[in-house]
Amino acid sequence: MREPVGSDRRLTVQMIADKVSMNVATVCLILTEELGMRKICAKMVPRNLTEQQQDSQLNICADLLEQVEADPELMDQVIIGDESWFFQYDAETKCQSLEWRSKGYQGQSKHVCSTQK
């Protein structure tokens, strides 16, 4: 029973039951009572950028710096505000992000990398 769950912690009880040829209720009982496992959802931390996004931000900042050096009065025309983060990605539903974990598991954050086209 540990092998299917260990290989893919996102398997549903039905999928595990199909793999081990057992009843769904029995698999659920073994996972929760015998193995002490439960389904948990990871926290979303949407601030982890891909290499491409980091390079893109670096290029944009370098271009802006060049423009400011060429025209020092450019910054007088800039309106600043609070930092905002916008992401474009295929969002997972809460059910899709559930994973089987043991009782002693402390949890970890799930980084969401946005994809830009």
Q: Which residue has the higher pLDDT, 87 or 36?
A: 36
Per domain, the residue ranges of the chain are 2-81+96-111
* pLDDT tens per residue across span 62-81: 998 999 899 988 888 876 66
Mention every residue, 6+ apart, whose C-beta is less than 8 A from residue 112: 44, 45, 46, 48, 87, 89
Give the model's confidence band at 106: pLDDT under 50 very low, under 70 low, under 90 confident, else very high.
low
Comparing 13-22, 74-83, 96-105, 106-115, the range with the smallest average pLDDT is 106-115
Distance linking the first and last C-alpha atoms of the chain: 41
| pTM tops 0.75 | no
Q: Is the pLDDT of residue 109 over 60?
A: no
Q: How far apart are CA 9 and CA 12, in angstroms?
A: 9
